[in-house]
Amino acid sequence: ERIIGIMGAMPEEIDGAISLLNNPQRAVIGMRSYTTGTINGIKTVVVFSRWGKVAASATAATLIHIYKITELIFTGVAGAIDPTLKIGDIVIAKRLIQHDLDARPLMGRFEIPLLGITYLECNTQQLDNARKAITPLIVNNILRDTIGENVLSEFGIVNPNLHIGDIASGDQFFSSELQKQQLNEALPTVVCVEMEGAAVAQVCYEHKIPFTVIRTISDTADEKSHIDFPIFIEKISSRYSVAIIEQL
Ligand code: ADE
């Protein structure tokens, strides 16, 4: 039986996801509120992950052990590293890496101890499903029609794009051009940065649970990020996540 776990990095996103559940039932475990129900007849559990790698890992482990999820979807926001990414664009992770993991000289920089791998790769089937589900949001303007052109344009969002690329996660909020440059030099394929995805991906990898990480760009991970990020979160990120979850 399919049981989908949906984790969001913002409480507002989770409220939006809960509104899509039939027969919602709530339980609190370890300072997190898990809501179970069905979406299109499929058992689904939604939870706010809290922020950072530890918080997200603990939540993913609970979804796997207590709720017996068979697949995990993470939605949230990210800061853009690749200059071609704009606020309002959507990124689906191809691979995830922990940019703050460094056990040199015992092993290579970014290598996950004992797993012997550096990147966590998304299963191609999951990636393809997510891409097919999200493409109409952009191509058929579903995002524009559900959020409203006027709301999007307030944020300078005109034609949001969908990207598939590498995402870096770490316990740091990026708020300077220097941080951004250093990440880009160390990991040139990374398109955006956030604080949970690669941690959740590692837990899923260890339990053989297929995962998808979907991020909307809220800021450009530089000196403007502490202004852009909270505005984006407050005003539109939950509308993005509801529109995304409805498509999946
Ligand atoms: N998530 C969204 N914006 C971010 C940033 N600038 N740094 C880290 N995580 C983020």
Compute the distance from residue 127 Cα to the ligand 1 centre, in Å. 22
Q: What is the pLDDT of residue 107?
A: 96
The model carries a pTM of 0.96
Return the closest-CA partner of residue 10 out of 224, 219, 216. Answer: 216
Q: Is the dihedral of CA 11, 14, 16, 22 positive or negative?
A: negative
Quote the tokens at residue 79.
């800061």
Distance, CA 195 to ligand 1 centroid (Å)?
7
CB contact at 8 A, 109 and 102: yes
Q: What is the CATH number of the domain that holds 221?
A: 3.40.50.1580
pLDDT tens track of the chain, all 248 residues? 999 999 998 888 888 889 999 999 999 999 999 999 999 899 999 999 999 999 999 999 999 999 999 999 999 999 999 999 999 999 999 999 999 999 999 999 999 999 999 999 999 999 999 999 999 888 888 888 888 888 888 888 888 999 999 999 999 999 999 999 999 999 999 999 999 999 999 999 999 999 999 999 999 999 999 999 998 888 888 888 888 888 87
Q: How high is the ipTM of this complex?
A: 0.99
DSSP for 137-190, please give it.
HHHT-HHHHHH-HHHHHHTT-SS--EEEEEEEE-S----SHHHHHHHHHH-TTE
Q: Which domain, by its residues, includes 60? A: 3-247
Q: What is the pLDDT of residue 159?
A: 87
33 contact partners, CB below 8 Å, separation of at least 6: 26, 27, 47, 48
**How much distance in Å is there from the Cα of 2 to the middle of ligand 1?**
31
* pLDDT confidence of residue 130: 93
Pocket of ligand 1 (CB under 6 A): 77-79, 173-174, 193-195, 218-219, 221, 225, 229
- Cβ proximity of 145 and 175 under 8 Å: no
Instruction: Report the domain count for the chain.
Output: 1
Q: Which pLDDT belongs to residue 222?
A: 96
Per the listing, tokens 């800061």 go with 79
Q: What are phi and psi of 208, to 5 degrees?
A: 55, 45
